Amino acid sequence: MKIKLALESAAAKFEKAGIESALVDAEILLGHLLNLTRGELQSKIFTDEEFSLVEEFEALVAKRAERLPLQHLTGVAYFRRLALKVGPGVFIPRPETEVVTQIAVDALKASGSAEPIAVDLATGSGAIALSLAVEVPNAKVFAIELSEEALKYTTQNFAELAPDAVLVQGDLADAFPELNGTVDVLVSNPPYIPDEMIPIYPEVHLHDPSLALYGGAGGLDVVRKVEEAARRLLRPGGSLIIEHADMQGEAVRELLLASGWRQVRTHRDLVGRDRATTALA
């Protein structure tokens, strides 16, 4: 079958299934199957080449059309400079978290410490923590994750991308008591979806782990635990960065101000939605 025809057919099926990035997903799946970058695949489309793994591609297309996450089919999630191993049981990092990570990177670089200490609570795949370790190589990075299912992937990601970073399993509320009062930057993308809400996309509510999604009746139960842990861990003047839903900015600001945090500010993501709130200890 011609590559161009296969991609057009797959994209049509994805559009029918309600997948917004239909052609891109088709290209990523076929590139994954043929071990080609999208650029290499594009050149083969231009020369109207054929490929032989038609049945294998059609099987992947059928699964994606059922709204199985693209990253579960390829086993990889791309995040900033990283290629992270992911699969069922671990939260797939989102593009909006890249903006949150940039805030943490900037705060870490501006900390003034020769070897700044960063902590990532509820690290999931390790996307934020590993970005900090790779992009701020003089930093000492610590991360904690509760889920055993997620840690199957997280452990591999840490071993391959930042073997000197520290990863532990446990409850973020009790994280790293040995670091109390010494941390320069604490960042978290905790579960923050209210229990009563169902995420719009089937890939999220059917396949992302509920432990990584839901944050109690109002969505802020785990955010409160992050704030409490941060008060214990951060040094005076240390930075707190919390990702949250776009409608939670005011509530998170009020929570932090009531606990005595300074310079509380909410930041928007690339499409202008409230996405993270920062504060100084």
Packed helices 3-16 and 22-34: angle between N→C axes, nearest 10 degrees:
130
Q: Which amino acid is at 265?
A: R
List, for residues 138-180, the tens digit of each pLDDT value: 999 999 999 999 999 999 999 999 999 999 999 999 999 999 9
Percentage of the chain with pLDDT > 90? 83
For residue 171, give the 3-state DSSP assignment: coil
List, for residues 28-65, the tens digit of each pLDDT value: 999 999 999 888 898 888 888 889 999 999 999 999 99
- Residue ranges per domain, the chain? 3-66, 77-280
Contact predicate 130/82, CB 8 Å:
yes
Spatial separation of the C-alpha atoms in residues 125 and 187, rounded to whole Å: 14
- In CATH terms, the fold of domain 77-280 is Rossmann fold (3.40.50)
List, for residues 243-274, the tens digit of each pLDDT value: 999 999 999 999 999 999 999 999 999 899 99
Packed helices 3-16 and 54-65: angle between N→C axes, nearest 10 degrees:
20
Is 205 a residue whose pLDDT tops 90?
A: no
